[in-house]
Amino acid sequence: MRIANPIYDVVFKYMMEDLKVAKSFIAAIIAEDVAELDFCPQEFTTRYKDDSLTVIRMDFLARIKTAEGYKAIIIEMQKAQLSSDIRRFRRYLGSQYQSKNNIYTDEQNKKHTRRIYCIFFLGQGLDVPDVPVLTVTNLVRDRATGKELHLRNEFIDSLHHQSWIVQIPVLKKHRRDDLEKLLSIFDQNNITDSNHILNVNEDDFPDEYRHIIRRLKQAAESEELADQMIAEDELISDFQDLERQISAKDEMLEEKDKKIEESKKQLEESNKQLEESNKQLEEKDRLIEKLLKQINHNNL
């Protein structure tokens, strides 16, 4: 089956705009029972020439069922292909902590801050080989003993978020569980004659995720998305050229700084030599003065 390549932002966004797909996809990653899921009223775009491309940050309001009841969660999903994009993550996360929209009132009229879950999709992997999906939890420990404390506290839960990091380059050949089978939709080893299209076998995916595959199949048949992927290729190419130019300028500045530092050291060495010469001249002047005094004394 031919599906659109979700490593492209426009395809990823198209896939996740289907709430049924988004709900299944998120539930598979966080391994929790997502009872309800809604989009947050936020959209972030950047302009490129005459086209509008989405800078991928998708926020969801989730109601998650637990053994104790339900909990309200903000799920922030971000996707980056370039290493420079990673710098956006902290800025976006900070805006969530500051947002008044993340305050809600419970049945007892008490105000609470929604917890935040972060899901990151990285087109460039971290230095963690052979682990396609990393889970980062907010463990609480006794500082003195190191013992883990199994407690829930609104202060801790509101300020220390859980995260999942998907390293797209590491996904190849990893099919150890249903999640890794699902995430194989990002496996770039399945590229066809076009970077925009992947070839997958629908039977390789668990039944509960087949609708996600069919959504990507629809995307592969869209001429509009095909045009947007071409535009995204151009945008990424321009960004990469800009990064190379910045890198080249940084190297030139670094070389210039080295030369300036070397000149400073040479100047310091010259000053030391000059100082030593001045000391020698002063010593010579003292000797001459001493000799002159002796000569004058002898002449008396």
What average pLDDT score do residues 249-278 get?
88
Where do the H-state alpha helices sit in 186-222? Answer: 210-220
**pLDDT tens digits, one per residue of 104-131:** 666 666 666 678 899 989 887 787 888 9
Is residue 81 a contact partner of residue 124, using CB atoms and an 8 Å limit? yes
Predicted pLDDT at 212: 96
Q: Measuring CA to CA, how many Å separate 100 from each of 50, 58, 95, 97, 173?
A: 34, 18, 10, 8, 43
**Can you give the pLDDT at residue 251?**
83
pLDDT at 98 over 70: no
H helix intervals, 17-132: 19-30, 88-98
One-letter amino acid of 234: E
Tell me the C-alpha distance between 53 and 44, whole Å: 9
User: What is the pLDDT, as a whole number, of residue 99?
Assistant: 63
Range from 44-53, 130-139, 201-210 that averages highest in pLDDT:
201-210
Decide if pLDDT at 239 tops 80. no
* Residue 216 reports pLDDT greater than 90: yes
pLDDT beyond 80 at 266: yes
pLDDT at 110: 65
Summarised one tens digit per residue, pLDDT across range 31-84 is: 999 999 999 865 444 444 444 344 578 889 999 999 888 888 999 888 886 555
- What integer pLDDT is reported at residue 94 of this predicted model? 59
